Structure 1
């Protein structure tokens, strides 16, 4: 059964708020007015991306019969805040800890890859909605707002997928790589290309390329 402890809910909320703030700072610098305007929209992408990423790990862990719980990493949260002022977010505010006496590399890899796959699917979902509303964004303020939210959602979630798949430290990528190098290469390539396109072309140009608009 999918259960949460009170401390887990608290840690998820704290991490969500601070990571949203970090992405806001990274995108707006020290412009407080821009930050306040952009933050609610960023929170949609980060909220879905971060929370569902962690729930992906938790769900797969519990499907295997393990107890899993998200725990905050204060040092990681502070580091994310510091790096955001340099235009980059080291997004490691905590992790889902799976409690097991023994776990194979395969199971650990499948648990670990669940989070990045959630982010990739969310990014594609945001891109789909952005593509759908783009034509009407030229004359509808609501469509413009939805397009901006979806653009941010695509950029943030593709980045979260690629970042977490890096094979360093205790990030998801290290565990996936130990399990299956072929799967790691394939998923990392997808996340990396999506992130690269977001950073070089921009979401609007991606949408224009898709729609020919």
Structure 2
């Protein structure tokens, strides 16, 4: 059964707002007033990417019978805001902490890859919106790019990130997720690539 503690709900909401504001700050060119005006759309484009990424970890961990709870990392949230002000976002707002008996390599790998797979699904949904709705092109494009970025960033094989656990479990699955998410990131930097797939 999925349960949320009061502290966990608080941490998710705070993290969602801070990460959304960090990306708004980035897109606004560090203009605070413009960034504040962008928060509503950033909550949809960025906030959902973050929240569902973390919930995917939680739900898969619970499916394996573990207790899982998201906890924000205050230093990470502050660092995200600082880096956003200077032109890039290092997004490490917190993590889902898992408690229980010894977790197998396979279970840990599947829990760790769940977040990025969720972001890839969202990136595909935003890609579909790009195809069918020219009016929402810009924000759908941002949604696709940011979800791709979240998926790719979290799969970096660095201690503490999901990728270090996934690659130990299944290097092939790790490569597939990295390549797909990197594809969305590449489209973000080179929009002309959209013509090849749409």
Q: Considering the TM-score relative to the shorter chain, is it more than 0.5?
A: yes
Query: What's the RMSD between the two structures over aligned residues?
Result: 1.4
Q: How far does residue 185 in structure 1 lie from its aligned partner after superposition? A: 1.0
Give secondary structure in 1 for the equivalent of 2:156.
Answer: coil
Q: How far does residue 171 in structure 1 lie from its aligned partner after superposition? A: 0.5
Which structure has the larger Rg over C-alpha atoms?
A: 1
Show structure 2 runs of 5+ residues with no match.
none
- Residue in structure 2 matched with residue 65 of structure 1 by the alignment: 65
Give secondary structure in 2 for the equivalent of 1:96.
Answer: strand
What does the per-residue CA deviation read over 1:33-85, in whole Å, with 9 as the maximum and x for residues that have no partner?
43234332222111210110001000000000111000011111111111111
How many angstroms apart in 2 are the aligned matches of 1:53 and 1:65?
19
Give secondary structure in 2 for the equivalent of 1:102.
Answer: coil
How many angstroms apart in 1 are the aligned matches of 2:168 and 2:145?
28
Runs of 4 or more, structure 1, over 3 Å off, are: 205-211
- Choose the corresponding residue for 2:146, options 148, 152, 156: 156
Taking the TM superposition and a 5 Å limit, the aligned residue runs for 1:91-170 are 91-134=91-134, 143=135, 146-170=136-160
Taking the TM superposition and a 5 Å limit, the aligned residue runs for 1:1-213 are 1-134=1-134, 143=135, 146-199=136-189, 201-202=190-191, 205-211=192-198
Kept after mapping to 2: 8 A contact 1:166/1:174: yes
How many angstroms apart in 2 are the aligned matches of 1:182 and 1:51?
26
The TM-score normalised by the length of structure 1 is 0.88
Residues 187, 124 of structure 1: alpha-carbon distance in 2 compared, 3 angstrom cutoff: same
Give secondary structure in 1 for the equivalent of 2:133.
Answer: helix
The TM-score normalised by the length of structure 2 is 0.94
How many angstroms apart in 2 are the aligned matches of 1:53 and 1:168?
18
- Residue in structure 2 matched with residue 138 of structure 1 by the alignment: none
Kept after mapping to 1: 8 A contact 2:2/2:62: yes
How many angstroms apart in 2 are the aligned matches of 1:149 and 1:198?
12
Q: How far does residue 150 in structure 1 lie from its aligned partner after superposition? A: 1.2
Q: How far does residue 169 in structure 1 lie from its aligned partner after superposition? A: 2.0
Q: How far does residue 206 in structure 1 lie from its aligned partner after superposition? A: 4.6
Show structure 1 runs of 5+ residues with no match.
135-142
Q: How far does residue 96 in structure 1 lie from its aligned partner after superposition? A: 0.5
User: Which range moved further: 76-85 or 63-72?
Assistant: 76-85
What does the per-residue CA deviation read over 1:117-151, in whole Å, with 9 as the maximum and x for residues that have no partner?
000110110110121012xxxxxxxx2xx323212
Give secondary structure in 2 for the equivalent of 1:92.
Answer: coil
